[in-house]
Amino acid sequence: MMDWSDRHCRFLHRLITRHTRLYTEMVTTGALLHGNVPRHLDFDAEEHPLALQLGGSEPDDLARCARLAAQWGYDEINLNCGCPSERVQRGAFGACLMAEPELVADGVKAMRDAVDLPVTVKHRVGIDRGESYGFVRDFVGTVAERGGCGVFIVHARNAWLKGLSPKENREVPPLRYDFVHRLKADFPALTFVLNGGISGNDQIEEQLRHVDGVMVGRLAYHEPWAMADWDERFFGGPPQPLDRDAVEELFVAYMERLQAVGVPWGHASRHMIGLRHGQPGARHWRQVWSDPRLKAGSPREAMRLARGRGSRQNAPLAA
Protein backbone atom coordinates (compact mmCIF):
# COMPACT_ATOMS: atom_id res chain seq x y z
CA MET A 1 0.00 0.00 0.00
CA MET A 2 2.94 2.32 -0.65
CA ASP A 3 1.68 5.85 -1.43
CA TRP A 4 -1.86 4.72 -0.60
CA SER A 5 -2.38 4.28 3.14
CA ASP A 6 -0.91 7.63 4.16
CA ARG A 7 -2.26 9.69 7.06
CA HIS A 8 -4.95 11.32 4.89
CA CYS A 9 -6.25 7.95 3.74
CA ARG A 10 -6.26 6.66 7.30
CA PHE A 11 -8.19 9.70 8.54
CA LEU A 12 -10.88 8.96 5.96
CA HIS A 13 -11.03 5.28 6.88
CA ARG A 14 -11.33 6.10 10.56
CA LEU A 15 -14.44 8.16 9.81
CA ILE A 16 -16.01 4.96 8.45
CA THR A 17 -14.83 2.39 11.01
CA ARG A 18 -13.81 3.09 14.60
CA HIS A 19 -12.49 -0.33 15.63
CA THR A 20 -10.61 -1.67 12.61
CA ARG A 21 -6.85 -1.56 13.10
CA LEU A 22 -5.14 0.66 10.54
CA TYR A 23 -1.63 0.21 9.17
CA THR A 24 0.76 2.77 7.77
CA GLU A 25 2.40 2.36 4.41
CA MET A 26 5.80 0.68 4.79
CA VAL A 27 8.49 2.99 6.18
CA THR A 28 12.09 1.88 5.86
CA THR A 29 14.47 1.98 8.77
CA GLY A 30 16.81 4.11 6.67
CA ALA A 31 14.13 6.72 6.09
CA LEU A 32 13.51 7.00 9.82
CA LEU A 33 17.13 6.96 10.95
CA HIS A 34 18.43 9.35 8.29
CA GLY A 35 15.36 11.25 7.11
CA ASN A 36 12.50 13.44 8.27
CA VAL A 37 11.00 11.56 11.21
CA PRO A 38 7.89 13.75 11.68
CA ARG A 39 7.01 13.43 8.00
CA HIS A 40 7.05 9.64 8.28
CA LEU A 41 5.60 9.14 11.76
CA ASP A 42 3.19 11.98 12.47
CA PHE A 43 -0.49 10.99 12.60
CA ASP A 44 -3.82 12.22 13.89
CA ALA A 45 -4.91 10.94 17.31
CA GLU A 46 -8.19 9.82 15.72
CA GLU A 47 -6.31 7.11 13.80
CA HIS A 48 -5.87 4.78 16.80
CA PRO A 49 -5.57 1.82 16.86
CA LEU A 50 -2.67 2.26 14.45
CA ALA A 51 0.29 0.06 13.53
CA LEU A 52 3.58 1.24 12.02
CA GLN A 53 4.82 -1.05 9.26
CA LEU A 54 8.60 -1.14 9.07
CA GLY A 55 10.88 -2.32 6.28
CA GLY A 56 14.37 -3.33 7.33
CA SER A 57 16.61 -6.23 8.28
CA GLU A 58 19.29 -5.01 10.68
CA PRO A 59 18.21 -5.83 14.27
CA ASP A 60 19.89 -2.75 15.77
CA ASP A 61 18.24 -0.43 13.27
CA LEU A 62 14.86 -2.08 13.82
CA ALA A 63 15.24 -1.64 17.58
CA ARG A 64 16.03 2.06 17.18
CA CYS A 65 13.00 2.53 14.95
CA ALA A 66 10.82 0.59 17.39
CA ARG A 67 11.77 3.07 20.09
CA LEU A 68 10.75 5.91 17.78
CA ALA A 69 7.41 4.20 17.15
CA ALA A 70 6.81 3.90 20.89
CA GLN A 71 7.73 7.55 21.44
CA TRP A 72 5.27 8.66 18.76
CA GLY A 73 2.46 6.60 20.28
CA TYR A 74 1.88 3.75 17.84
CA ASP A 75 -0.08 0.70 19.01
CA GLU A 76 1.86 -1.97 17.12
CA ILE A 77 5.01 -2.46 15.06
CA ASN A 78 4.71 -4.66 11.98
CA LEU A 79 7.78 -5.99 10.17
CA ASN A 80 7.24 -6.34 6.42
CA CYS A 81 8.53 -9.64 5.05
CA GLY A 82 6.18 -9.70 2.09
CA CYS A 83 6.96 -6.82 -0.28
CA PRO A 84 8.44 -8.23 -3.52
CA SER A 85 9.59 -5.04 -5.26
CA GLU A 86 13.12 -5.01 -6.68
CA ARG A 87 13.88 -1.77 -4.84
CA VAL A 88 13.04 -3.43 -1.55
CA GLN A 89 15.07 -6.50 -2.50
CA ARG A 90 18.10 -4.29 -3.15
CA GLY A 91 17.73 -3.13 0.44
CA ALA A 92 17.77 -6.81 1.54
CA PHE A 93 14.36 -6.71 3.21
CA GLY A 94 10.74 -7.41 2.34
CA ALA A 95 9.83 -10.82 0.92
CA CYS A 96 13.42 -11.93 0.43
CA LEU A 97 13.72 -12.06 4.23
CA MET A 98 11.57 -15.21 4.21
CA ALA A 99 14.73 -17.04 3.12
CA GLU A 100 16.41 -15.88 6.37
CA PRO A 101 14.02 -16.73 9.20
CA GLU A 102 16.77 -16.54 11.82
CA LEU A 103 17.54 -12.95 10.84
CA VAL A 104 13.83 -12.09 10.98
CA ALA A 105 13.65 -13.69 14.43
CA ASP A 106 16.63 -11.64 15.58
CA GLY A 107 14.97 -8.45 14.32
CA VAL A 108 11.69 -9.26 16.05
CA LYS A 109 13.47 -10.06 19.30
CA ALA A 110 15.50 -6.84 19.13
CA MET A 111 12.31 -4.81 18.77
CA ARG A 112 10.50 -6.72 21.51
CA ASP A 113 13.45 -6.16 23.83
CA ALA A 114 13.45 -2.45 22.99
CA VAL A 115 9.75 -1.65 23.51
CA ASP A 116 6.61 -2.98 25.16
CA LEU A 117 4.54 -2.70 21.97
CA PRO A 118 3.28 -5.81 20.16
CA VAL A 119 5.63 -6.75 17.31
CA THR A 120 4.01 -8.59 14.39
CA VAL A 121 5.25 -9.95 11.07
CA LYS A 122 3.60 -9.70 7.65
CA HIS A 123 4.81 -12.27 5.12
CA ARG A 124 3.88 -14.44 2.13
CA VAL A 125 3.24 -18.19 2.02
CA GLY A 126 6.39 -18.65 -0.04
CA ILE A 127 8.87 -17.06 -2.41
CA ASP A 128 9.33 -17.62 -6.14
CA ARG A 129 7.64 -20.75 -7.45
CA GLY A 130 8.16 -22.99 -4.43
CA GLU A 131 4.96 -24.77 -3.41
CA SER A 132 6.08 -26.35 -0.14
CA TYR A 133 3.88 -25.71 2.88
CA GLY A 134 6.86 -26.74 4.99
CA PHE A 135 8.72 -23.57 3.93
CA VAL A 136 6.20 -21.18 5.46
CA ARG A 137 5.58 -23.50 8.42
CA ASP A 138 9.28 -23.51 9.28
CA PHE A 139 9.50 -19.73 8.79
CA VAL A 140 6.66 -19.15 11.25
CA GLY A 141 8.02 -21.69 13.70
CA THR A 142 11.47 -20.12 13.75
CA VAL A 143 10.24 -16.53 14.10
CA ALA A 144 7.80 -17.52 16.83
CA GLU A 145 10.25 -19.63 18.83
CA ARG A 146 13.43 -17.57 18.47
CA GLY A 147 11.91 -14.13 18.11
CA GLY A 148 8.85 -14.42 20.33
CA CYS A 149 6.44 -13.23 17.64
CA GLY A 150 2.84 -14.17 18.39
CA VAL A 151 0.99 -12.55 15.46
CA PHE A 152 1.52 -13.33 11.78
CA ILE A 153 -0.26 -11.52 8.94
CA VAL A 154 -0.09 -13.88 5.98
CA HIS A 155 -0.55 -12.78 2.38
CA ALA A 156 -1.77 -16.07 0.94
CA ARG A 157 0.30 -15.86 -2.25
CA ASN A 158 3.93 -16.51 -3.05
CA ALA A 159 6.14 -13.53 -3.81
CA TRP A 160 7.89 -14.03 -7.14
CA LEU A 161 11.12 -12.11 -6.68
CA LYS A 162 11.96 -12.01 -10.39
CA GLY A 163 9.79 -11.52 -13.45
CA LEU A 164 6.71 -9.91 -11.91
CA SER A 165 5.91 -6.34 -10.93
CA PRO A 166 4.52 -5.64 -7.44
CA LYS A 167 1.07 -5.29 -9.02
CA GLU A 168 1.41 -8.65 -10.79
CA ASN A 169 2.60 -10.18 -7.51
CA ARG A 170 -0.81 -9.32 -6.07
CA GLU A 171 -2.63 -11.08 -8.90
CA VAL A 172 -0.58 -13.77 -10.70
CA PRO A 173 0.68 -16.15 -7.99
CA PRO A 174 -2.26 -18.36 -6.96
CA LEU A 175 -4.00 -17.83 -3.65
CA ARG A 176 -3.38 -20.56 -1.08
CA TYR A 177 -5.82 -19.89 1.73
CA ASP A 178 -5.42 -23.52 2.78
CA PHE A 179 -1.79 -22.81 3.75
CA VAL A 180 -2.94 -20.08 6.16
CA HIS A 181 -5.62 -22.38 7.59
CA ARG A 182 -3.00 -25.09 8.11
CA LEU A 183 -0.73 -22.64 9.92
CA LYS A 184 -3.53 -21.90 12.39
CA ALA A 185 -4.11 -25.63 12.89
CA ASP A 186 -0.39 -26.32 13.41
CA PHE A 187 0.20 -23.31 15.70
CA PRO A 188 -3.11 -22.88 17.57
CA ALA A 189 -1.53 -20.65 20.24
CA LEU A 190 -0.43 -18.08 17.64
CA THR A 191 -2.62 -15.45 15.99
CA PHE A 192 -2.99 -15.58 12.21
CA VAL A 193 -4.46 -12.82 10.07
CA LEU A 194 -5.22 -13.72 6.44
CA ASN A 195 -4.52 -11.26 3.62
CA GLY A 196 -4.90 -11.36 -0.15
CA GLY A 197 -7.75 -11.49 -2.65
CA ILE A 198 -10.52 -10.52 -0.25
CA SER A 199 -13.31 -8.95 -2.31
CA GLY A 200 -16.29 -8.64 0.04
CA ASN A 201 -17.62 -8.81 3.57
CA ASP A 202 -19.13 -12.27 3.20
CA GLN A 203 -15.68 -13.55 2.24
CA ILE A 204 -14.23 -11.92 5.36
CA GLU A 205 -16.83 -13.68 7.48
CA GLU A 206 -16.05 -17.01 5.83
CA GLN A 207 -12.31 -16.68 6.49
CA LEU A 208 -12.89 -15.75 10.13
CA ARG A 209 -14.16 -19.30 10.62
CA HIS A 210 -10.61 -20.51 9.99
CA VAL A 211 -8.28 -17.73 11.17
CA ASP A 212 -8.14 -15.03 13.82
CA GLY A 213 -8.38 -11.99 11.59
CA VAL A 214 -8.43 -10.64 8.05
CA MET A 215 -6.39 -7.80 6.58
CA VAL A 216 -7.97 -5.95 3.67
CA GLY A 217 -6.10 -3.55 1.40
CA ARG A 218 -7.44 -2.93 -2.10
CA LEU A 219 -11.10 -3.45 -1.21
CA ALA A 220 -10.87 -0.92 1.62
CA TYR A 221 -9.11 1.59 -0.60
CA HIS A 222 -11.19 1.34 -3.76
CA GLU A 223 -14.53 0.79 -2.00
CA PRO A 224 -14.11 2.39 1.44
CA TRP A 225 -17.83 2.26 2.22
CA ALA A 226 -17.47 -1.55 2.36
CA MET A 227 -16.09 -0.89 5.85
CA ALA A 228 -19.25 0.90 7.03
CA ASP A 229 -20.74 -2.13 8.80
CA TRP A 230 -17.50 -3.66 10.09
CA ASP A 231 -17.79 -2.22 13.59
CA GLU A 232 -21.21 -3.79 14.03
CA ARG A 233 -20.63 -6.97 12.03
CA PHE A 234 -17.17 -7.98 13.19
CA PHE A 235 -16.55 -6.07 16.44
CA GLY A 236 -19.97 -6.10 18.08
CA GLY A 237 -20.08 -2.32 18.17
CA PRO A 238 -22.94 0.07 17.41
CA PRO A 239 -24.00 0.68 13.81
CA GLN A 240 -22.17 3.33 11.80
CA PRO A 241 -23.91 6.62 12.72
CA LEU A 242 -22.76 8.48 9.58
CA ASP A 243 -23.94 8.23 6.01
CA ARG A 244 -21.74 8.92 2.97
CA ASP A 245 -22.77 12.58 2.86
CA ALA A 246 -21.71 13.08 6.48
CA VAL A 247 -18.37 11.34 5.90
CA GLU A 248 -17.74 13.50 2.84
CA GLU A 249 -18.56 16.67 4.78
CA LEU A 250 -16.23 15.71 7.64
CA PHE A 251 -13.45 14.92 5.20
CA VAL A 252 -13.99 18.22 3.41
CA ALA A 253 -13.60 19.98 6.78
CA TYR A 254 -10.36 18.02 7.24
CA MET A 255 -9.15 19.16 3.81
CA GLU A 256 -10.00 22.75 4.70
CA ARG A 257 -7.74 22.42 7.75
CA LEU A 258 -4.96 21.11 5.50
CA GLN A 259 -5.43 24.01 3.10
CA ALA A 260 -5.25 26.49 5.98
CA VAL A 261 -1.74 25.30 6.88
CA GLY A 262 -0.52 25.21 3.29
CA VAL A 263 -0.99 21.52 2.47
CA PRO A 264 -2.62 21.02 -0.97
CA TRP A 265 -5.95 19.34 -0.33
CA GLY A 266 -5.58 17.26 -3.49
CA HIS A 267 -3.11 15.12 -1.54
CA ALA A 268 -6.08 13.98 0.54
CA SER A 269 -9.02 14.09 -1.87
CA ARG A 270 -7.58 11.34 -4.10
CA HIS A 271 -8.22 8.81 -1.33
CA MET A 272 -11.96 9.58 -1.36
CA ILE A 273 -12.58 8.74 -5.04
CA GLY A 274 -14.18 5.37 -4.25
CA LEU A 275 -16.50 6.59 -1.49
CA ARG A 276 -19.62 6.49 -3.69
CA HIS A 277 -18.71 3.33 -5.57
CA GLY A 278 -21.81 1.75 -7.07
CA GLN A 279 -24.08 4.69 -6.23
CA PRO A 280 -26.19 6.71 -8.70
CA GLY A 281 -24.18 9.72 -9.87
CA ALA A 282 -20.87 8.19 -8.76
CA ARG A 283 -19.20 8.77 -12.14
CA HIS A 284 -19.91 12.52 -12.09
CA TRP A 285 -18.87 12.71 -8.44
CA ARG A 286 -15.53 11.01 -9.20
CA GLN A 287 -14.92 13.24 -12.20
CA VAL A 288 -15.35 16.40 -10.14
CA TRP A 289 -13.12 15.29 -7.30
CA SER A 290 -10.48 14.16 -9.83
CA ASP A 291 -10.52 17.43 -11.79
CA PRO A 292 -7.07 19.05 -11.32
CA ARG A 293 -8.47 22.48 -12.27
CA LEU A 294 -10.43 22.61 -9.02
CA LYS A 295 -7.46 22.01 -6.72
CA ALA A 296 -6.62 25.73 -6.60
CA GLY A 297 -10.01 26.49 -5.10
CA SER A 298 -11.94 25.36 -2.08
CA PRO A 299 -12.71 21.72 -1.29
CA ARG A 300 -16.16 22.82 -0.16
CA GLU A 301 -16.86 24.28 -3.59
CA ALA A 302 -15.65 21.01 -5.13
CA MET A 303 -18.13 19.17 -2.92
CA ARG A 304 -20.96 21.42 -4.12
CA LEU A 305 -20.00 20.73 -7.71
CA ALA A 306 -19.70 16.99 -7.11
CA ARG A 307 -23.21 16.98 -5.68
CA GLY A 308 -24.51 18.93 -8.66
CA ARG A 309 -25.15 22.12 -6.71
CA GLY A 310 -22.70 24.42 -8.40
CA SER A 311 -21.27 25.36 -11.77
CA ARG A 312 -17.75 24.71 -12.95
CA GLN A 313 -17.95 27.94 -14.90
CA ASN A 314 -18.17 29.84 -11.61
CA ALA A 315 -15.66 27.70 -9.75
CA PRO A 316 -12.14 29.01 -9.12
CA LEU A 317 -9.91 27.17 -11.58
CA ALA A 318 -6.19 26.73 -11.82
CA ALA A 319 -4.45 28.32 -14.80
Q: Can 7-235 and 244-309 be said to share one CATH topology?
A: no
Phi, psi of 312 (to 5 degrees): -65, -25
Catalytic residue list contains 9 = no
Q: What are the domain boundaries of the chain?
A: 7-235, 244-309
Given a cut of 80, is residue 50 above it in pLDDT?
yes
Is the per-residue pLDDT at 74 higher than 90?
Answer: yes
* Higher-pLDDT residue of 92, 108: 108
Phi-psi region of 174 (alpha: psi -120 to 50; beta: other; left: phi over 0): beta
Alpha helix locations (H) across the chain? 7-16, 29-34, 37-41, 59-72, 86-90, 101-114, 133-147, 166-169, 177-186, 201-207, 218-222, 230-235, 244-260, 266-269, 282-290, 299-306
At residue 314 the predicted structure's pLDDT band, cuts being 50, 70 and 90, is very low
User: What digits encode the pLDDT tens for the residues 109-129?
Assistant: 999 999 999 999 999 999 888
Fold of 244-309: Four Helix Bundle (Hemerythrin (Met), subunit A) (1.20.120)
Instruction: Quote the pLDDT of residue 138.
Output: 98
In angstroms, the Cα distances linking 32 to 94, 107, 191, 289, 317 are 16, 16, 28, 33, 38
Mean pLDDT, range 269-273, rounded to an integer = 96
Instruction: Output the CA–CA distances (angstroms, integers) from residue 102 to 5, 136, 138, 160, in the order listed.
Output: 30, 13, 11, 21
| pLDDT of res. 131 | 85
pLDDT digits (tens, 9 = 90+) for 156-183: 999 887 766 777 877 788 999 999 999 9
Considering the four listed CATH numbers 3.30.360.10, 3.20.20.70, 3.90.380.10, 3.10.180.10, the one that applies to the domain covering 7-235 is 3.20.20.70
Do the beta carbons of residue 2 and residue 57 sit within 8 Å?
Answer: no
User: Is residue 149 predicted with pLDDT exceeding 60?
Assistant: yes
pLDDT at 245: 97
Rounded Cα gap, residues 271 and 250, in angstroms = 14
Confidence of residue 145 (pLDDT cuts 50, 70, 90): very high
List 9, 83, 96, 149, catalytic entry: 83
Residue 185 predicted with pLDDT over 80: yes
pTM for this model (two decimals): 0.91
Residue 286 CA to residue 283 CA, distance in Å, equals 5
SS3 state of residue 276: coil
CA angle 46, 48, 50 (to 5 degrees): 130
* The pLDDT value given to residue 191: 98
The alpha carbon of 19 is separated from its chain's Cα centroid by a whole number of angstroms, namely 15
**How many of the other CB atoms lie within 10 Å of CB of 299?**
24
